[in-house]
Structure 1
Amino acid sequence: MKISELANKANVSVETIRYYQREQLLDIPSNQTGIRQYTLSHLEKMQFIKNAKLAGFSIAEIKQLIQFDSVKDRTTILALSEHKKKDLQIKIQELKSAMTFLQSLVKQCKSSEQPECPILEGLKGDC
């Protein structure tokens, strides 16, 4: 299949595929006929990358995961995944705090009778 077909089947853009190739997550097929032909293996790798990103893994971490053997490296994979879970829990708490803060500022702006929106002053607040 051509790169456009791979992109369509993987539900990503052609540029995303090229980006993953530049990042060495996805190999570039040979160009024997003048047109690169992508295989089912490429599609499967794209699905792996998409799922790893969905799980919160960075490009660098996905590079590691791709290299692992599911039997030999099981302990390492588990440790990396447990660490990622902790990172995500921290990020979730940070996002919840950000949402609470922003909701408060928006509420102040909506209820304020002053001509200035208090959001900007609120963002200047305590460090």
Structure 2
Amino acid sequence: MLIGELVKQTNLSRDTIRFYEKMQLIHSITRNNGYKDYPEQTLQQVQLIRTAKNLGFSLHEIKQILAMTAQQEIPADQVHTIFQEKLDVIDEKIAQLNQIKMMLSRFTQGEPCPLRKDCPIPELN
């Protein structure tokens, strides 16, 4: 299918499709006339990219997942590990954000401002 059809079916922009191709998340075949032809499996790949992005995966992580799925279906225990690792990262980010929230809250309640030269800036873990 041509890029216009892929854009229609995925509701993505041409720029996004081209960016995914540049990042080697999807691939096309260049026809003799110079037009790019995207295989039917590109629709499933784009759906996987969207789902993974919505779950918080980076494009780099998604590229690794796509490479695994290109070889074979990912075993359930490996999918579990991937999800658990992402949960661990999210839990760590939540902890950091909660710490930042507590510090900002203290500053709004009268603690000395850490943005002045004479106030030390607390370290985050």
Structure-2-length-normalised TM-score: 0.68
Structure with greater helix percent: 1
Task: Say whether 1:108 aligns with 2:106.
Answer: yes
What is the root-mean-square deviation of aligned Cα atoms in Å? 3.1
Instruction: State the percentage of identical aligned residues.
Output: 21
Q: Which residue number in structure 1 is paired with residue 79 of structure 2?
A: 81
The 1:67–1:20 alpha-carbon spacing in structure 2 relative to 1, beyond 3 Å, is farther
Q: Which residue number in structure 2 is paired with residue 9 of structure 1?
A: 9
Q: Which residue number in structure 2 is paired with residue 26 of structure 1?
A: 26
Q: Offset at 1:26?
A: 1.6
Residues 65-105 of structure 1 show CA distances to partners (whole Å, capped at 9, x for unaligned) of 2321x4xxxxx521321111221221122122112111112
Match for 2:66: what amino acid? I
Contact 1:10–1:43 (8 Å) recurs in 2: yes
Contact 1:29–1:38 (8 Å) recurs in 2: yes
**Paired residue for 2:91, among 83, 90, 93?**
93
The 1:45–1:92 alpha-carbon spacing in structure 2 relative to 1, beyond 3 Å, is closer
Contact 2:28–2:39 (8 Å) recurs in 1: no
CA distance in 2, matches of 1:67, 1:52: 18
Contact 1:65–1:77 (8 Å) recurs in 2: no
Task: Say whether 1:67 aligns with 2:65.
Answer: no
Size of the aligned set, in residue pairs, is: 119
CA distance in 2, matches of 1:49, 1:66: 13
CA distance in 1, matches of 2:12, 2:110: 44
* Residue segments in structure 2 that go unaligned for 5+ positions in a row: none
Q: Offset at 1:108?
A: 1.7
